[in-house]
Structure 1
Amino acid sequence: MTTLQKIKGSFVKGTPMFNKTSREQQKGAFFVVTYKHSTRLFYCAYDFEHQYLDVEIKHLKSRLGQLSFKQDRYEKRLIKLANKVTGVCFGSKKLARGRLTQKTYHAHPERWQKDWVSARYGKMTISGRKDAKSGNFVFHYHLETHTLTFKAIDQCVISLSDVVFPYGQDHVNHAIQTQMNLKDKKKYGKPIGWSLEDHGDYYIVKCLIDVPATPYLNTSTSTG
């Protein structure tokens, strides 16, 4: 922008001057701006000054203002990250505050403890790995027996029997069988994630796989 401002100043003084290395040059009575794949030609000094110089300077000033604002915002964020201790609340803020604000929890602390443990440890999601034999190093689904096994932190193997998916069982079987049959899993494999949800009397098991989109989707409401 400094070069453009110097050129603008020379035009104001009535003696147009150009930097030898800039893309803006004067060729005889014409003013030329050379780009990589194109060239702009101005037939008089007035058009070059107001249609090109003023527009470019205004655009660059606006861009510099945006970058300055972004830099200031990031610097403030760095200061905040360096000085402020980040807090983590397990089991939701609402439940943490309810320990002291709700009469039910205040009168029965054991009830709050039970709900807090359920909220904190009630769900577990393990992302898959495309280079794993069955798409996941922790979970393994046995297609023949519909048994899901996984390793706990203490290396104890836990088995869940009769794990059947009412919707999408074919997709799960196809994804796991395809993954197990692949020879070059690092190149062609796809990760298979698993999620467990504890609802007290029962568990919900979710298999996270990529399902191809349906090519023909009926959007008519007349047929349901």
Structure 2
Amino acid sequence: MDQVTTLTFFRYGSLAAKVWAFGMMQFAHRPLAKEKGLLHYKLMGSGKDGFDPFADWSVYALLQVWESEEAANRFFDTSPLYARYVAKTVQQWTLFLRSIKAKGTWAGVNPFVPSTVINENNPYIAVITRATIKPRMLRTFWKHVPASQAPLKDNKGLLFTKGIGEVPFLQMATFSLWKDTESLMDFAYKSRAHTNAIKKTRTLDWYSEELFSRFEPYRTLGTWDGVPKLPY
């Protein structure tokens, strides 16, 4: 059976719900560790829009790698933990992802195994990047973020993006959903600001660990601020 990755975003409305969500960054580990078929998971907070390093206390994310889609379905259909999250949130959105390619490591391992059932007719593509920033390079790194991300503003090929991570400022990840590969490639290799940022990554060596991964997003549960449901 092919591995499946799910990424769920939760939006919280009330102050009490936001406090509960913060607490679950610690208390959700025990039930998740017992979940059948769950190979890897990450509980993450998020940054404010525009890849601002300061926390967005209303949005949290749960990344899960499953041994099969059946295992993932079982969690979303029957898990008491997931039901608790749903009860506390005003919005939930889950993407089902098949790994196309992943390079690098996340906490010492590469959790994403390439899928053998990629649908070549599915135009959508999703990207997860994750890095641990060297403490001495924090100021330099975040100084360059606004310029490198500027081409994302009003980008017609970008359907959704959000900065997420385990530790604010130090351990950061980004998720982006694109309407097609061409749009992603235009941003990655034709945007001067972004290519300059890649060059600085190599010359300044500001990461102690990094991972870049691409996925086929083929299914969604729930909705998120007008982002279209995926038809595959």
TM-score under structure 1 length normalisation:
0.19
Q: Using CA pairs below 8 Å that are at least 6 residues apart, which structure has the higher relative contact order?
A: 2
Task: Name the structure with the higher strand share.
Answer: 2
TM-score under structure 2 length normalisation:
0.18
